[in-house]
C-alpha cells in the first residue's frame, strides 16, 4: 500500500508539471498536537509552468478547510478558499492512503488559478564534476544525505568529505544536535572555503537496500526551499549532481521538475552535473559491491521439514538474526490465536492484502535497526516464506544478496515427524487437516524458484547446515594465504624459538604441533622462557590466541605447569579434542625401549604409536587417551578446524610453529635415528589441520653449525669439537659447552660442519620461501655486535651469499646472539 501511495504522489506531480493550465497540486498529512488535537499541514506543493510560485511546504491548513472533511480514502469535496494565496481560489480534494502507522488518511488537492505566469529560464544540465563548479562567485554545492547519517557516505558525498574534511566535521557537529526523528526536511549548511558552501539535504529516509525508494519528495522539496533562502541571502549559484537518483531511488524527471519549480523559478542559477559514462559505471560498481557482506536467507518448506533446526544452527554458528513470520503475524493481527491453523489463516489474509510485501517490510525494518553505518551487513534469516509474492518482493529490493533455501522430505517422513512433536498449538489439529490449508498445499511449488532444495530425510541437520553455509559463501576461501609456517631445516635445536619470538607480534593466532620432546627457548629476563607445548610467541604476542592442533601430543602435567607459569586462561588457549595424551606409563616405557637411539624419553613415541594401534580398545572404551578424555584439560577443549576457519574468514594472520628438524622426520630422516612424526612442512600442516593453499610463507631455520643430541642419536657429516668452534669464533669454550645442552633433557650436544647436501634436501622437501640463519656468532663473536647486515663479518656475508645460491631463497632473518636485539631482519614482507 505504501508503494501505491508513493506512486500516486509522483503521478500528481506529473499531472501538475505537464498541464498547460495554471494549476497546483498539494499533498497534506495529519499532525497531532501535544494537546491531542488533529490538524493538517502541507507536505509539498507543486505547480504547473504557468501557475504562480507558492511556498507552501509545511504550511498549516485552517480547520475550516475542506481538507479536514476528507476523512476517508476516496472521499472528495470542492470549495473556494483563500488560505493558499490570500484571494479566493478554487480547490478540489480527495482522501488518499494514510502513511504507515497513521489512522487518518492523507489528502491531495488540486488548485486552479486565474492568472497565467511566464516561464522561467531552465536549469543547466551538463557532463562534469560537481566538485569543479563552472561558475565564479559564491557557490552552494548540494548533496543528498539520509536521516541517520552523521558522516558523509559513498559516491559524491565521500569525495566531498575527502576534499573538505573540516566541512564534514562541521556537518557531524550540527546534525547530532538535531533529533533523528526531526531530521527529514532539514538542510545543514557547512562552509568549505571562503566562496563554497556544502548544503546537505536530508531528504532520504534510512539507507541500504529497500523494498521502496528511500527518497522522500516532500522532505526534499522543503530542503530545496531552504537552499533557495540561503543562496539568495549570500548571492550564490547552486550546483549539484543528479541528486536523489542513486541509492535513494528517486525519479529524476520528478526531481528536475521540483528543482525547476522551487529554485529556477525563484530566479537562481542552477547547474546539475552528470558524470561521464565511464565514471558513472565505476560509481555503480562501487554501489553494487557496497553490500557484499549482507546476506539474506529465505527459508521455505512444508511442516516439519527441518526449518527450525536450520534456523537454530545458522544463529548459533553464524550469528544470524532471525525474522519469524509467526511473530510478525501475531504482531500485525494480535487477536490471532497462537495455533498453527489460526496463524495460517491470518497469514493468508495479510498476503491477500498486499501480495506478501508485509514480510519484506519487516525484514527491512530489522536490517535498518541493526545497521551501524552506511552499509548494512550481517546474516538475516526469514523463517519462513510461504508464497512467491513474499520472495519476489524481497528479491526486488535486495537482489543478489537473497538466497532462497527450500527444505523438503517425503510425506511419510513429514507425517512421522509431525506426530512425534509435542507442541501445544498443534495438539488439537491433525496432520491431514493442516495439509488441507491452501498455502500449505502449494508450499511445494516454492521449490521451483529456490536457489537450493534440500531433502532433509536424506541428510543430517549438520549436513543441511553445510549446504546452506556453502550457498551463502560463508566458508573460508581455499586460496586465502594467511598462514606462515616455521620449521627446522636440520636436526632440531636450530633456534626456532628465538626466531618465533621475533616475528610472533605480527600474528593473531599462534599454532604449535609436536610434543614435549622438543623444547624451544625465547630470550627474557631474568631467565629465558622455555616452551614444551605452548607456542614460543606466547609472551611476545600477548594478544594472540593459542592453538594446539589435533596432531599435538600432550603431557598434561607439564602443560598445566606451562599454563600456570605464563598465566594463560581458557579464553586464550584452545586444545583440539583429538590431541594425544601422554601417560606416565608411556614415559617409562619409552625410557626402557629407545635408549639406544638417544630418545628424550618424554613418552611421545609410545603415545603416538598407541593412537594408531589402540583404536579397537578406544572404541570398546577400554582406554581413554585423547585430550577430550582428560578431565583437567576440558576448559581448553575446542575444534582446531573451527578456530582456523574462523581466523581465515576474519583475515587474521596465523603462525604455525613446527618442532624438531627435517633431518629427524620419521619418513625422510636417517631411520631409525628419527622421531615419531613427519617434521617437514607437509607433516606440520597435517598435524595442525591446515590446507597447503592457505600457506603464504615458509621459513626454514638453519644453524651455521648443525647439532644432534649427544650419544648414539644418529649420523652427522663432518663432526667438529666445541674447542674448534671456540677457536674459530672467539667464544669461550665454557660458554659454548653451557649453551649447547638440550632444552628438554639437558644433555650435551654434538656439533658438525654445515652440511650442504642435507641442506639442499631440506629445501627440496619443504619448499621454503625464506631462510632464517641462526648462530652466526659461531663464525665470529664480533657478529654479536652487528645490528645491520653490512656490519657482519665478511665470512658471514659470503656464507649467506652461498646459502642463497644453493637454496634459491633469500636469507631474510639472521640471529646473532641470544638477547633482546639479536635478529637482523631483512624481510620484504
Which tens digit of pLDDT belongs to each residue from 41-55?
888 888 887 788 777
pLDDT attached to residue 746: 74
Q: Considering only 254-263, 414-423, 624-633, which range has the smallest mean pLDDT?
A: 414-423
CB 559 within 8 A of CB 570: no
Judged on CB neighbours under 10 Å (0-12, 13-18, 19+), 49 is buried
pLDDT attached to residue 743: 63
Q: Average pLDDT, stretch 637-644? A: 92
pLDDT attached to residue 117: 44
Fold assignment, 292-471 = Rossmann fold (3.40.50)
Q: Average pLDDT, stretch 615-627? A: 77
Judged on CB neighbours under 10 Å (0-12, 13-18, 19+), 269 is middle
Q: Average pLDDT, stretch 398-414? A: 92
Q: Average pLDDT, stretch 162-188? A: 93
| Cα angle, residue 513 at apex, residues 512 and 518 outer, rounded to 5° | 95
User: Pick the residue with more confidence: 123 or 225?
Assistant: 225
Band (555; pLDDT cuts 50, 70, 90): very high
pLDDT attached to residue 122: 52
Architecture category of domain 124-288 in CATH: 3-Layer(aba) Sandwich (3.40)
DSSP string, 59-83: -EE-TTSGGGG--STT-EEEEEEST
Q: In this predicted model, what pLDDT tens digit does every residue of 374-388 receive, in sequence order? A: 667 889 999 989 999
Any bridge partners for residue 700, and if so which? 487, 771
Instruction: Tell me the C-alpha distance between 797 and 799, whole Å.
Output: 5
pLDDT attached to residue 560: 93
Band (534; pLDDT cuts 50, 70, 90): very high
Architecture category of domain 2-112 in CATH: 2-Layer Sandwich (3.30)
Band (476; pLDDT cuts 50, 70, 90): low
Instruction: Tell me the C-alpha distance between 11 and 714, whole Å.
Output: 91
Q: Considering only 213-217, 335-339, 631-635, 801-805, which range has the smallest mean pLDDT?
A: 335-339
> Highest-confidence range of 23-27, 84-88, 129-133, by mean pLDDT?
23-27
> Cβ neighbours of residue 527 under 8 Å, at least 6 residues apart?
none
User: Pick the residue with more confidence: 821 or 428?
Assistant: 821
And the C-alpha cell for 340?
A: 498453527
Is the pLDDT score of 2 beyond 50?
Answer: no
Judged on CB neighbours under 10 Å (0-12, 13-18, 19+), 771 is buried
Band (36; pLDDT cuts 50, 70, 90): low
Instruction: Tell me the C-alpha distance between 297 and 391, whole Å.
Output: 10
Band (56; pLDDT cuts 50, 70, 90): confident
Q: Average pLDDT, stretch 523-529? A: 86
Band (288; pLDDT cuts 50, 70, 90): very low
pLDDT attached to residue 285: 27
DSSP letter at 703 equals E
Rounded to the nearest 10 degrees, what angle do helices 357-370 and 325-332 cross at? Answer: 100
Band (426; pLDDT cuts 50, 70, 90): very low
pLDDT attached to residue 7: 55
Q: Which of 395, 745, 784 is nearest to 590 (CA)?
A: 745
- What are the extents of the domains in the chain? 2-112, 124-288, 292-471, 483-825
CATH code for residues 483-825: 3.40.440.10
Q: Which of 527, 600, 533 is nearest to 561 (CA)?
A: 533
CA 389, chain centre distance (Å): 30
Instruction: Tell me the C-alpha distance between 279 and 247, whole Å.
Output: 16
> Cβ neighbours of residue 564 under 8 Å, at least 6 residues apart?
none
Pure H helices in 371-471: 388-398, 411-420, 431-435, 438-441, 461-471
CB 244 within 8 A of CB 220: yes
pLDDT attached to residue 291: 31
Q: Which of 56, 35, 47, 174 is nearest to 112 (CA)?
A: 47
Average pLDDT, the chain: 84
CB 39 within 8 A of CB 280: no
Cα dihedral 280, 282, 287, 288, rounded to 10, equals 110
DSSP letter at 727 equals H
Q: In this predicted model, what pLDDT tens digit does every residue of 75-129 receive, in sequence order? A: 666 777 888 877 788 888 887 777 665 666 788 888 887 644 444 445 677 666 7
Instruction: Tell me the C-alpha distance between 519 and 600, whole Å.
Output: 11
Q: Average pLDDT, stretch 595-614? A: 72
And the C-alpha cell for 753?
A: 660442519
User: Pick the residue with more confidence: 430 or 708?
Assistant: 708
pLDDT attached to residue 4: 47
pLDDT attached to residue 755: 95
Q: In this predicted model, what pLDDT tens digit does every residue of 706-744 receive, in sequence order? A: 998 877 878 888 999 999 999 999 999 999 988 888 766
Question: What are the phi and psi torsion angles at 724 (to 5°)?
Answer: -70, -40
pLDDT attached to residue 292: 43
Q: Which helix (H) or strand (E) holds 160?
A: helix 155-163
Q: Considering only 119-123, 128-132, 696-700, which range has the smallest mean pLDDT?
A: 119-123
Q: In this predicted model, what pLDDT tens digit does every residue of 570-583 receive, in sequence order? A: 999 999 999 998 88
- Provide the 3-class DSSP secondary structure of residue 454: strand
Amino acid at each position: 500500500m505504501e508503494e501505491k501511495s508513493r506512486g500516486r504522489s509522483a503521478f500528481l506531480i506529473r499531472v501538475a508539471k505537464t498541464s498547460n493550465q495554471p494549476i497546483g497540486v498539494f499533498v497534506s498529512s495529519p499532525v497531532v498536537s501535544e494537546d491531542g488535537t488533529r490538524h493538517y499541514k502541507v507536505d509539498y506543493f507543486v505547480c504547473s509552468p504557468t501557475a504562480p510560485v507558492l511556498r507552501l511546504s509545511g504550511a498549516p491548513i485552517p480547520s475550516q478547510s475542506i481538507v479536514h472533511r476528507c476523512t476517508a480514502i476516496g472521499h472528495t469535496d470542492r470549495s473556494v478558499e483563500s488560505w493558499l494565496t490570500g484571494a479566493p481560489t478554487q480547490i478540489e480534494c480527495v482522501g488518499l492512503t494514510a502513511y504507515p502507522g497513521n489512522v487518518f488518511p492523507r489528502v491531495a488537492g488540486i488548485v486552479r488559478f486565474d492568472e497565467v505566469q511566464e516561464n522561467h529560464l531552465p536549469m543547466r544540465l551538463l557532463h562534469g564534476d560537481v566538485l569543479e563548479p563552472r561558475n565564479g562567485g559564491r557557490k552552494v554545492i548540494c548533496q543528498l544525505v539520509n536521516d541517520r547519517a552523521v558522516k558523509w557516505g559513498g559516491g559524491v558525498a565521500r569525495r566531498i568529505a575527502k576534499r573538505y574534511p573540516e566541512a564534514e566535521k562541521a556537518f557531524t557537529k550540527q546534525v547530532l544536535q538535531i533529533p533523528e526523528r526531526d531530521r527529514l526536511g532539514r538542510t545543514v549548511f557547512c562552509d568549505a572555503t571562503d566562496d563554497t558552501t556544502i548544503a546537505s539535504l536530508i531528504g532520504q529516509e534510512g539507507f541500504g537496500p529497500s523494498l521502496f525508494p528511500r527518497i522522500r519528495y516532500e522532505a526534499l522539496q522543503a530542503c530545496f526551499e531552504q537552499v533557495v533562502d540561503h543562496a539568495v541571502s549570500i548571492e550564490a549559484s547552486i550546483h549539484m549532481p543528479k541528486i536523489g537518483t542513486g541509492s535513494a531511488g528517486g525519479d529524476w524527471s520528478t526531481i528536475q521538475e521540483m528543482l525547476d519549480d522551487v529554485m529556477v523559478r525563484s530566479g537562481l542559477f542552477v547547474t546539475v552535473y552528470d558524470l561521464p559514462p565511464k565514471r558513472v559505471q565505476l560509481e555503480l560498481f562501487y554501489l553494487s559491491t557496497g553490500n557484499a557482506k549482507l546476506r539474506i536467507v529465505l527459508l521455505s518448506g512444508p511442516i516439519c521439514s527441518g526449518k527450525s533446526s536450520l534456523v537454530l544452527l545458522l544463529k548459533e554458528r553464524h550469528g544470524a538474526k532471525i525474522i519469524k513470520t509467526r511473530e510478525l503475524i501475531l504482531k500485525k493481527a494480535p487477536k490471532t490465536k497462537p495455533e498453527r491453523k489460526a496463524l495460517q489463516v491470518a497469514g493468508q489474509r495479510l498476503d491477500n492484502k498486499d501480495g506478501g510485501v508485509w514480510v519484506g517490510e519487516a525484514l527491512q525494518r530489522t536490517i535498518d535497526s541493526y545497521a551501524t553505518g552506511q552499509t548494512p551487513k550481517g546474516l538475516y534469516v526469514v523463517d519462513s516464506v510461504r508464497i512467491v509474492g513474499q520472495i519476489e518482493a524481497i528479491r526486488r529490493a535486495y537482489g543478489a544478496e537473497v538466497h532462497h533455501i527450500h527444505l523438503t522430505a517425503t510425506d511419510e517422513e513429514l507425517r512421522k515427524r509431525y506426530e512425534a512433536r509435542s507442541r501445544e498449538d498443534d495438539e488439537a489439529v491433525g496432520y491431514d487437516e493442516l495439509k488441507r490449508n491452501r498455502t500449505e498445499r502449494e508450499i511445494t511449488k516454492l521449490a521451483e524458484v529456490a536457489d537450493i532444495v534440500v531433502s532433509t530425510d536424506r541428510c543430517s541437520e549438520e549436513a543441511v547446515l553445510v549446504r546452506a553455509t556453502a550457498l551463502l559463501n560463508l566458508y573460508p576461501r581455499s586460496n586465502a594465504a594467511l598462514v606462515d609456517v616455521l620449521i627446522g631445516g636440520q636436526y632440531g635445536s636450530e633456534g626456532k624459538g628465538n626466531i618465533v619470538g621475533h616475528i610472533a607480534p605480527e600474528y593473531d593466532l599462534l599454532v604449535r604441533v609436536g610434543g614435549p620432546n622438543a623444547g624451544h627457548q625465547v630470550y627474557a629476563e631474568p631467565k629465558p622462557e622455555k616452551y614444551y607445548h605452548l607456542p614460543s610467541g606466547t609472551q611476545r604476542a600477548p594478544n594472540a590466541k593459542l592453538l594446539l592442533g589435533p596432531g599435538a601430543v600432550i603431557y598434561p602435567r607439564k602443560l598445566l605447569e606451562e599454563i600456570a607459569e605464563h598465566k594463560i586462561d581458557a579464553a586464550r588457549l584452545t586444545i583440539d579434542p583429538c590431541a594425544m595424551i601422554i601417560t606416565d606409563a608411556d614415559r617409562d616405557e619409552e625410557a626402557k625401549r629407545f635408549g639406544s637411539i638417544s630418545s628424550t624419553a618424554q613418552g611421545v613415541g609410545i603415545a603416538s604409536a598407541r593412537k594408531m594401534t589402540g583404536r579397537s580398545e578406544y572404541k570398546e572404551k577400554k582406554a581413554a587417551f585423547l585430550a577430550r578424555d582428560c578431565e583437567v584439560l576440558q576448559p581448553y577443549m575446542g575444534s582446531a578446524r573451527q578456530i582456523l576457519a574462523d581466523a581465515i574468514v576474519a583475515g587474521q594472520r596465523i603462525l604455525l610453529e613446527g618442532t624438531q628438524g627435517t633431518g629427524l622426520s620419521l619418513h625422510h630422516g636417517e631411520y631409525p635415528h628419527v622421531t615419531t612424526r613427519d617434521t617437514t612442512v607437509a607433516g606440520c600442516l597435517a598435524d595442525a589441520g591446515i590446507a597447503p593453499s592457505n600457506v603464504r610463507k615458509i621459513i626454514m631455520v638453519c644453524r651455521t653449525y648443525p647439532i644432534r643430541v649427544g650419544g648414539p642419536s644418529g649420523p652427522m657429516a663432518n663432526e667438529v669439537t666445541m674447542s674448534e668452534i671456540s677457536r674459530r669464533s672467539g667464544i669461550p669454550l665454557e660458554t659454548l659447552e653451557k649453551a649447547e645442552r638440550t632444552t628438554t633433557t639437558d644433555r650435551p650436544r654434538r656439533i658438525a660442519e654445515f652440511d650442504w647436501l642435507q641442506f639442499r634436501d631440506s629445501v627440496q622437501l619443504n619448499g621454503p620461501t625464506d631462510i632464517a640463519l641462526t648462530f652466526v656468532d659461531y663464525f665470529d663473536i664480533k657478529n654479536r655486535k652487528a645490528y645491520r647486515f653490512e656490519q657482519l663479518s665478511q665470512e658471514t656475508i659470503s656464507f649467506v651469499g652461498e646459502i642463497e645460491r644453493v637454496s634459491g631463497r633469500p636469507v631474510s632473518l639472521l640471529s646473532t646472539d641470544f638477547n633482546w636485539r639479536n635478529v637482523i631482519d631483512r624481510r620484504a614482507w
